[in-house]
């Protein structure tokens, strides 16, 4: 199997970037409410362990297709 290395600059210039907006939620979200039903380990988060993020990068599919073309 051959290998291919890409620098960050390669990823920025050789491939089209796509932006995806995501909601990221902690697995511990609402853990404090769950503790009322059954004892669980970890911090007692309420409903505040959630955030949004924009990710911009090439699609993994495009990178793999480029790699497989060699």
Q: pLDDT tens-digit profile of 16-70? A: 999 999 998 877 777 777 778 888 777 667 767 788 999 999 999 999 999 888 7
pLDDT on residue 31: 78
Q: pTM for the whole thing?
A: 0.56
Does an H or E element contain 20, and which?
Answer: strand 17-25
Pairwise pLDDT comparison (2 vs 6), residue with the higher score: 6
The rounded distance, in Å, linking the Cα atoms of 68 and 70 is 5
Domain boundaries, given as residue ranges, for the chain: 8-68
The rounded distance, in Å, linking the Cα atoms of 32 and 43 is 8
pLDDT on residue 1: 61
């Amino acid at each position: 199997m051959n290998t291919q290395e890409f620098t960050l600059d390669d990823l920025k210039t050789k491939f089209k970037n796509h932006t995806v907006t995501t909601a990221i939620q902690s697995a511990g979200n609402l853990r404090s409410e769950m503790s009322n039903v059954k004892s669980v380990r970890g911090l007692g988060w309420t409903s505040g362990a959630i955030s949004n993020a924009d990710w911009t990068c090439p699609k993994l599919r495009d990178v793999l297709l480029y790699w497989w073309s060699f």
